[in-house]
């Protein structure tokens, strides 16, 4: 048994979802069964800065610009979730080509943040 934190199961031919931030979309992937990674892959882009730093770095206007076309909250209460606070999802996917194959890219239409 493998317990995963920050990772998804990526057994051979197993489908998975690797989500991005609230404005960058997500990927549907198929596992390649890489035993060296315990048949796992990352579960998302991950932060490149802390929530505190994001709140100090970005404004509500930045949030509105980075989530244009996505139905979501665009207020000070969620600035810490701005796409710019996360790593590039494309880079994360490219770094996992030995773990998963990309089946589809999804575009974010709606993001619910409580």
Residues with active-site annotation: 43
Name the phi and psi angles at 47, rounded to 5.
-75, 145
Indicate the helix (H) or strand (E) that contains 102.
strand 100-106
Residues within the annotated binding site for GMP?
Answer: 19-22, 26, 43-46, 113
Secondary structure of residue 26 in the 3-state scheme: strand
Residues within the annotated binding site?
Answer: 19-22, 26, 43-46, 113
Cβ burial of 111 (10 Å; 0-12, 13-18, 19+) is: middle
């Amino acid at each position: 048994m493998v317990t995963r934190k920050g990772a998804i199961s990526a057994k051979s031919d197993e489908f998975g979802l690797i989500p991005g931030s609230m404005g960058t979309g997500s990927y549907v992937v198929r596992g390649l069964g890489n035993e060296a990674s315990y048949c796992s892959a990352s579960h998302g882009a991950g932060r490149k800065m802390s929530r505190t730093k994001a709140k100090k770095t970005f404004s509500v206007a930045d949030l509105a610009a980075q989530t244009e076309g996505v139905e979501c909250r665009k207020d000070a209460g969620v600035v810490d979730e701005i796409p710019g606070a996360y790593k590039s999802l494309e880079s994360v996917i490219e770094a996992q080509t030995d773990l998963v194959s990309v089946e589809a890219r999804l575009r974010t239409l709606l993001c619910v943040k409580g």
